[in-house]
Amino acid sequence: MDALAAVFIRDMRIATRIGGGALMGVLFFLAVVILLPFAIGPDLALLRRIGPAILWIGALLASLLALDRLFAADHEDGSLDLILLGRSPLELVIIAKALSHWLTTGLPLVLVSPVLGLFLNLEPVAIGAVMLTLLIGTPALTFIGVIGAALAVMLRRGGLLLPVLVLPLTIPVLIFGVSAANAAVVGPVPFATPLAILGALTLMSLVVGPVAAAAALRQGSE
Amino acid sequence: MALIDFANPSRFVALVERVLPWLVVATLFTFGVGLYQTFFIAPDDYQQGATVKIMFIHVPSAWLGMFCWGLMSLASLGTLVWRHPLADVAAKSAAPIGAAFTFLCLVTGSLWGRPMWGTYWVWDARLTSVLVMFLMYLGLIALWRSVDDPARAGRAAAILTLVGAVNLPIIKFSVDWWNTLHQPASVFRLGGPTIDPSILVPLAWMAIAFTLLFVTLHLAAMRTEILRRRIRTLRLMQVHSAQGA
């Protein structure tokens, strides 16, 4: 347990200090969400309708941004070998690392989403719904992403390939995240149904992601 | 003969050389029967007319697209668990074939959808999940092509294949879980098929023909892959000895 806490605290420190890039994702999120109205046009009624989808796309892309460094940086300075040799189960270490990664990249996205929601002319209900779905859904993106991050270590030059591998797997999360956010505003489905499926997806990825990522890291270390 | 006997690539290639001509003949024969039945025996649909014939290409290629991912998942287990030396050869050479069948399924479905549904594409669960599978095939092929060491690439691809296998039950049951424009399962279902024998029999022939085509292409591709790896090893040895001299 101490070892896991140490990994968690270390990752938090690295992410929040100079060169860590914890807020990079937020800036990227901001850039994407501000770019889209330029492409679509400043039609406030249209933006209100597709606003939840824009926020979700932006959060999805932003959460992929820092992902390829998650294990690659550890691999370069050798700490990944120590983690692999260590006594704590690799799956749990990956969960600890993913948790700190989500706290430094995923959670800030959730926190700034209301501000961006104002840009997109969302109603307070819609802003709340998007925030809640992002809060439940972004951990799934991180836990699916760790699979890609672990594969990127095996590939060495996997940075470009990572989004190609991870994005198809995140499609269900996107579908149910956006449909839950939309259900809260316009219906006709009750809000709880897609939200429950979104929660199920997050829990499933919490199980599958670390196991698959651990397998990839073990295979890659041979 | 156990599976481990095929672990020797030379023995495997020799076996493929012996079996392949027969498989080609069997594939051509079943395609002959299947296509004849499709065009001359199977009746036109009373609503859809002759466009129903698209089904005899569409359905088998959809089956094969999914079957191929299933086969790759088994091969991936072979790579990760049993370290079977031919497992990653099997997985690698299956991926482009599976992608081709999935592409064929999407294209024929789209061409069939245009006259029947009035649109080439709808974002319904079955279509979308098959499209996701196609994307994952492409990602997998890209993964194979981005690592130069085949053993390393094989293990990375195996993990991704197993993760992607989650999509298979989603595709299979998508027509039951969601109300989709795509029709529900009508061949493999509890209580027997709901298709009339006059269409089911030609469809079965076409399915066998497609499966044989898949096996033929897959074995040939595996042989090619084994030879390709030999050439790679020979070249590496050549460079090595040239440097040593």
Compare A198 and B115 and report the one with higher pLDDT. Answer: A198
Name the pLDDT band for A86 (thresholds 50, 70, 90). Answer: confident
Name the pLDDT band for A158 (thresholds 50, 70, 90). Answer: low
Contact assessment for residue B153 and residue B143, using Cβ atoms and an 8 Å cutoff:
yes
- Whether residues A168 and B139 touch (CB distance < 8 A) is answered with yes
A211 touches chain B (CB under 8 A): no
Buried b or exposed e, range B83-110, using 16+ CB within 10 angstroms: ebbbbbbbbbbbbbbbbbbbebbbebbe
Arithmetic mean of pLDDT, B226-245:
85
Chain B positions with Cβ closer than 8 Å to A = 80, 128, 132, 135-136, 138-139, 142-143, 146-147, 152, 155-156, 158-160, 162-164, 166, 170
Name the minimum distance, in Å, from the CA of A167 to any CA of chain B. 9
pLDDT of residue A20: 66
Lowest mean pLDDT, pick from A22-26, A71-75, B177-181: B177-181
- Whether residues B159 and A155 touch (CB distance < 8 A) is answered with no
Name the pLDDT band for B28 (thresholds 50, 70, 90). Answer: very high
Length of chain A counted residue by residue: 222
**Angle ∠(B215,B218,B220) on CA atoms, nearest 5:** 110
Give the one of A167, A169, A216 whose C-beta lies nearest to B156's C-beta: A216
% of chain A exceeding 90 in pLDDT: 18
- Whether residues A168 and B132 touch (CB distance < 8 A) is answered with yes
Give the one of A147, A171, A219 whose C-beta lies nearest to B132's C-beta: A171
Compare A6 and B51 and report the one with higher pLDDT. Answer: A6
Compare B173 and A59 and report the one with higher pLDDT. Answer: A59
pLDDT tens digits, A12-63: 888 877 766 677 888 888 988 888 888 888 788 888 888 888 899 999 988 8
C-alpha–C-alpha distance, residues A96 and A143, integer Å: 11
Lowest mean pLDDT, pick from A54-58, A110-114, B55-59, B195-199: B195-199
C-alpha–C-alpha distance, residues A131 and A114, integer Å: 7
C-alpha–C-alpha distance, residues A161 and A154, integer Å: 12
Arithmetic mean of pLDDT, A193-202:
89
Range with the largest mean pLDDT of A184-188, B138-142, B146-150: B138-142
- Whether residues B163 and A147 touch (CB distance < 8 A) is answered with yes
Enumerate residues 92 to 111 of chain A having a beta carbon within 8 A of any beta carbon in chain B. none
pLDDT of residue B74: 92
C-alpha–C-alpha distance, residues A152 and A104, integer Å: 20
pLDDT of residue A126: 86
Length of chain B counted residue by residue: 245
pLDDT of residue B160: 87
Name the minimum distance, in Å, from the CA of B209 to any CA of chain A. 31
Phi, psi of A52, rounded to the nearest 5 degrees:
-55, -40
**Angle ∠(B148,B150,B152) on CA atoms, nearest 5:** 90
Lowest mean pLDDT, pick from A97-101, A151-155, B66-70: A151-155
Which SS3 state, helix, strand or coil, does residue A33 take?
helix
Contacts B136 to A, Cβ<8 Å: 168-169
CA proximity to B16, closest of B229, B209, B228, B222: B222
Enumerate residues 141 to 160 of chain A having a beta carbon within 8 A of any beta carbon in chain B. 147, 151, 154-155, 157-158
Name the minimum distance, in Å, from the CA of B142 to any CA of chain A. 8
- The 10 Å Cβ neighbour count of residue B52 is 18
Domain borders along chain A are 2-220
Arithmetic mean of pLDDT, B80-100:
89
pLDDT of residue A34: 86
Contact assessment for residue B203 and residue B187, using Cβ atoms and an 8 Å cutoff:
yes
Name the pLDDT band for B193 (thresholds 50, 70, 90). Answer: low
pLDDT of residue B1: 45
pLDDT of residue A5: 87
Give the one of A164, A208, A212 whose C-beta lies nearest to B139's C-beta: A164
pLDDT of residue B172: 74
- Whether residues B156 and A154 touch (CB distance < 8 A) is answered with yes
pLDDT of residue B100: 94
